[in-house]
Amino acid sequence: MTFGKIMSHRMAYGRRIALALRAVVAGSVVLAGAASAQQQAPAAKPPAATKPAAAKPSAAPAVPSPGGTAQPTLVGRYGDWGAYTASPGGKKVCFALSKPVNSSTVPPNRPRDPAYMFVSTRPAEKVKDEVSVIFGYGLKPNSDANIQVAGGNYAMNTLSDGAWVKNAAEEPKLVETMRKGQDLTVKGTSAKGTVSTDVYSLKGLSLALDKVGQECR
């Protein structure tokens, strides 16, 4: 298999995983935040009764599940990163996930969906610590995205609204740098020419990846 075909297969599979995870994780992150807020909020006094109302069942928002498998499970929260496990397609996947702590666009204030960074491990595919980004908008075709961390630059191949490290051989160095860093910057260009800059905190990433490694040995 040629290098081009290897990269195409890697991106295609990574794309399927990222889409499945994004669909379920978006709900999981929201639910986790809501649960935390509920725990911290003081108990509200019940309002004075006026007229009895029909009771409605209290149900949490349904979180979609890829391929009918179980929802992702949050197995640890460390700083600005969460460690999760999931089984899209029946194959166990473990990943660390975070959202940007700061985002900007040029031109400014352009609308976009939530952005995420994943560092995924897939034992069935013998993939460890694969870095991917969901940008929240369709990327410019045939353009590269870019990760900047600790003075280094890492080009990323793009497909639709996702990006993966172009040179897989650089990934171990990138992840090791991320473990030791404070933050990183991801830049991309949308199909309409909007340039986005997202800053991700790396606080807690090292512990999150240790947990991911324990869950997906």
> What CATH number corresponds to the domain at position 26?
2.60.40.1880
Q: What pLDDT, on a 0 to 100 scale, did the predictor assign at position 3?
A: 38
Residues 6+ apart with CB under 8 A from 78: 204, 205, 207, 208, 211
Type and span of the H or E element at 35: helix 3-40
Residue at 116 is within a domain: yes
Q: What is the largest CA-CA distance in the chain?
A: 73
- CA 112 to CA 38: how far, in whole Å? 28
pLDDT of residue 21: 54
**Structural domain of 87:** 3-38+66-215
Q: Is residue 58 part of a domain?
A: no
DSSP for residue 48: P
Q: What is the value of pTM for the model shown?
A: 0.74
Determine, yes or no, domain membership for 200: yes
- Write out the two tokens for 117: 């960074």
pLDDT of amino acid 10: 52
What's the structural domain count of the chain? Answer: 1
Q: What pLDDT sits at residue 37?
A: 32
Is 113 contained in some domain? yes
Neighbours of 45 (CB within 10 A): 6
The alpha-carbon radius of gyration of the chain (Å, integer) is 19
User: What is the Cα–Cα distance from 23 to 215, expressed in whole angstroms?
Assistant: 21
User: Would 48 be classed as within a structural domain?
Assistant: no
Helix, strand, coil: what percent of the chain each, to 5? 35, 35, 35
Rounded mean pLDDT for each run of 10 residues along the chain, 217 residues in total = 44 53 50 34 45 39 35 92 90 94 96 94 93 95 96 95 94 97 97 97 98 95
